[in-house]
Amino acid sequence: MGEAVVAYVVDWRPCGSTDGTVALRQCLRLVEGNVWQFECDLPGAESDPLEVQLAAWTLTTVARWPDRMPPATGTLKPGDPTVWEAFVTFAPFALDGSVWTHGDGHPVVSFSDQGTSIVVRLDSDQAQRLSDLVAPAQLVPANEWDRRPRQDRA
């Protein structure tokens, strides 16, 4: 990402979704080729769909803090496609998490509250590609999001 990046809030509500699962996974897929490290917490997944439970188990096996409450992956490096796939699957169920690429040290994807809050930092090409995936009304510059009346924000 040589050009300037802009922080965007991904507002998944206009698409009629009940949560940000699809939008968050699209954000993660957009940056996956450039991931330097990633992390998330691992709250209990017992009542989640089976694929999410299996992803949580996979992440727990490589977690740096499996005994913390809630458990957490700690910072993981890419390399094992099974672990990355588990992360993408589980991310919308995490309380919070982040993904970094090489750059200024700020996360390119930050998420919290089980996929209901998603912030991305993208260059113009990435922003266009994500807009094509999630619809332009869903990608709101963070500085504009902060100025919206509270009832218009997630």
pLDDT at 1: 45
95: CB partners within 8 A, 6+ apart = 41, 43, 70, 112, 113, 114
Q: Alpha-carbon distance 29 to 44, whole Å?
A: 24
DSSP one-letter code for 125:
H
Q: Is the pTM of this model over 0.75?
A: yes
The answer to whether the CB of 98 falls within 8 A of the CB of 87 is: no
User: Per-residue pLDDT tens for 98-130?
Assistant: 999 987 789 999 999 998 899 999 999 999 999
The residue ranking higher by pLDDT, 2 or 89, is 89
Q: Alpha-carbon distance 108 to 131, whole Å?
A: 16
Binning pLDDT at 50, 70 and 90, where does residue 18 land?
Answer: low
Q: Alpha-carbon distance 88 to 138, whole Å?
A: 20
